[in-house]
């Protein structure tokens, strides 16, 4: 996006234009200087609206649950922003993003904005820029942000680092297949949900999860295990109550402050890393072949090469960064 376009789009965005919001999300997702300009302009508009992460293995009914949660909050006249992340194929770079299918009732609700994202080479369940896209939704005035990702036991901490409250969803069918991923899922969870609780095996699963939770070291917050049938709405009231309770706990205990503090710290480091890397790529890439030759010829080590290049980078005038 060109700079003139960015200004126009930002103006439209602040006037409440949905098309502009969508375009800013694209700019943010595509990264680069445009993304930074956008995020900087939006930063003062961030409201601190609650962020809910929903994760769990494929097929447990996450999208149906997100749909039901969003409808619940719409009933309370809250505006809801949803970011749904699905994996990019490592072979083709393409992706099929199908989470909207289960959110058809929200498709034309002006108080809801749904954005699908592909992970685009990011290793975690989140896309690299999911958090930033959520920022755009937050700055657009949404009262609740929901981030939905596939979680298979390794990547949940990503979402836990982005959301205030992380809901881990399982279903009776997940049964044995989740053993391997259980540790990761349980660690990330602030609230555990057994969805499709009308199916055989649900009771067993709830008992196992509760037993596992008792094994954890004592903490101020013990994740409750909630049974839901998202397709019929059963258990949703319990779930929203649990999420609210967790939010109260976070604010009351100061944990929310700590989490957000940590998040800002991570964010600063990420921006810094991103900038340094971009600058290194711009200024130093040309020097790499020369140093490579020297290392191969035994005239230098990779460490002396890196030290020399870093010194050259820091000596540069920071003003010509962009």
Q: Which 194-253 positions form the footprint of other proteins (CB under 8 A)?
A: 231-232
- The CA R_g of the chain, rounded to the nearest whole Å, is 22
Under the binding rule (CB under 8 A), the answer on residue 2 touching other proteins is yes
Q: Which of 8, 14, 26, 280 binds other proteins (CB under 8 A)?
A: 26
For residue 85, the cross-strand partners are 117
Under the binding rule (CB under 8 A), the answer on residue 273 touching other proteins is no
Sign of the torsion angle spanned by Cα atoms 134, 48, 152, 174: negative
Q: Which of 102, 131, 142, 227 binds other proteins (CB under 8 A)?
A: 102
Q: Residue 68 or residue 300: which is nearer to other proteins going by CB?
A: 68
Question: In angstroms, what CA-CA distances link 175 with 60, 98, 141, 156, 204?
Answer: 11, 24, 39, 19, 9
Measured between alpha carbons, how far is 55 from 219 in angstroms, rounded to an integer? 22
Count of CB atoms situated within 10 Å of the CB of 198:
14
Measured between alpha carbons, how far is 177 from 200 in angstroms, rounded to an integer? 16
Q: Residue 172 or residue 184: which is nearer to other proteins going by CB?
A: 172
Under the binding rule (CB under 8 A), the answer on residue 15 touching other proteins is no
Q: Residue 78 or residue 100: which is nearer to other proteins going by CB?
A: 100
Record the tokens describing residue 233, joined without a space.
């709405």
Under the binding rule (CB under 8 A), the answer on residue 100 touching other proteins is yes
Q: Which of 98, 175, 252, 302 binds other proteins (CB under 8 A)?
A: 98
Q: Residue 104 or residue 285: which is nearer to other proteins going by CB?
A: 104
Strand order in the sheet with 225-227: 112-118, 80-86, 144-150, 51-56, 165-170, 191-194, 225-227
Q: Which of 41, 95, 284, 295 binds other proteins (CB under 8 A)?
A: 95
Measured between alpha carbons, how far is 64 from 70 in angstroms, rounded to an integer? 10
Q: Which residues bind other proteins (CB under 8 A)?
A: 2, 17-19, 22-23, 25-26, 30, 32, 59, 64, 88-89, 91-98, 100-102, 104, 107-108, 113-116, 118, 120, 173, 231-232
């Amino acid at each position: 996006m060109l700079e003139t376009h960015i200004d126009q789009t930002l103006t439209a965005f602040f006037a409440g234009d949905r098309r502009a919001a969508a375009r800013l999300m694209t700019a943010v997702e595509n990264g680069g200087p445009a993304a930074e300009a956008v995020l900087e302009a939006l930063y003062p508009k961030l409201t601190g609206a609650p962020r809910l992460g929903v994760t769990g293995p494929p097929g447990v009914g996450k999208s149906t649950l997100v749909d039901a949660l969003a409808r619940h909050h719409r009933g309370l006249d809250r505006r809801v922003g949803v970011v749904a992340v699905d994996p990019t194929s490592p072979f083709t770079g393409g992706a099929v993003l199908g989470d909207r299918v289960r959110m058809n009732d929200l498709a034309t609700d002006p108080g809801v904005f749904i954005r699908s994202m592909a992970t685009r080479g990011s290793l975690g369940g989140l896309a690299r820029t999911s958090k930033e896209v959520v920022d755009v939704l937050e700055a657009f005035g949404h009262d609740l942000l929901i981030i939905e990702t596939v979680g298979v036991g390794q990547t949940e901490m990503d979402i836990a680092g982005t959301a205030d409250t992380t809901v881990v969803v399982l279903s009776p069918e997940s049964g044995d297949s989740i053993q391997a991923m259980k540790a990761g899922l349980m660690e990330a969870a602030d609230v555990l949900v057994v969805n499709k609780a009308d199916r055989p095996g649900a009771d067993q699963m709830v008992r196992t999860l509760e037993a596992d939770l008792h094994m954890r070291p004592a903490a101020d917050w013990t994740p409750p295990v909630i049974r839901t049938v998202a397709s019929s709405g059963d258990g949703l009231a319990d779930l929203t109550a649990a999420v609210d309770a967790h939010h109260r706990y976070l604010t009351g205990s100061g944990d929310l402050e700590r989490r957000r503090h940590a998040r800002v710290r991570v964010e600063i480091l990420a921006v810094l890393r991103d900038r340094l890397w971009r600058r290194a790529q711009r200024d130093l890439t040309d020097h790499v072949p020369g140093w490579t030759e020297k290392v191969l010829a035994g005239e230098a080590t990779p460490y002396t090469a890196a030290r020399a290049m870093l010194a050259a980078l820091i000596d540069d005038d920071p003003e010509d960064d962009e």
